[in-house]
Amino acid sequence: MNKDSYQDMLAAVQAFHDKHDFKNTGGEELTYRISLMAEELGEISACVTKGKPREALAEEVADLLILLIGTGIAADFDLNAAFWAKMEKIMQRKSRMVNGAIRVSEFRD
């Protein structure tokens, strides 16, 4: 197994979904998944604002990544293809400083 391969990560998340029968037990319901992602963002925020160690932050971000990959499975879209299509789009965008931080967006003047 190539642990840097998106296909291997996708297969691992699919195996997790299959193990717990997410498809038939509500684990792939999209509104539920959104609430889980919001919960993970809260945990990521707590790691940063409370100065928790990097390992704790890495674990919470990994949880979010697993949820994101699983959402691609649940909603039946290719997250890998969506990622690369979005990267191509955002690489064309301009950046601007907003309140002292860099922003990259489709700015409307």
% residues pLDDT > 90 (the chain): 93
pLDDT for position 2: 67
Give the span between the Cα atoms of 42 and 64, in whole angstroms.
11
- What is the model's pTM? 0.89
Q: Compute how many other C-beta atoms are within 10 angstroms of the C-beta atom of residue 22.
A: 20
Q: Is the pLDDT of residue 59 over 90?
A: yes
Helix or strand (DSSP H, E) at 11: helix 6-19
Average pLDDT over residues 36-62: 98
Is the pLDDT at 3 greater than 90? The verdict is no
Amino acid sitting at position 43: E
Residue 22 CA to chain centroid, in angstroms?
Answer: 18
Q: Does residue 66 sit in helix, strand or coil?
A: helix
Q: Which domains does the chain have, with CATH numbers?
A: 6-80 (1.10.287)
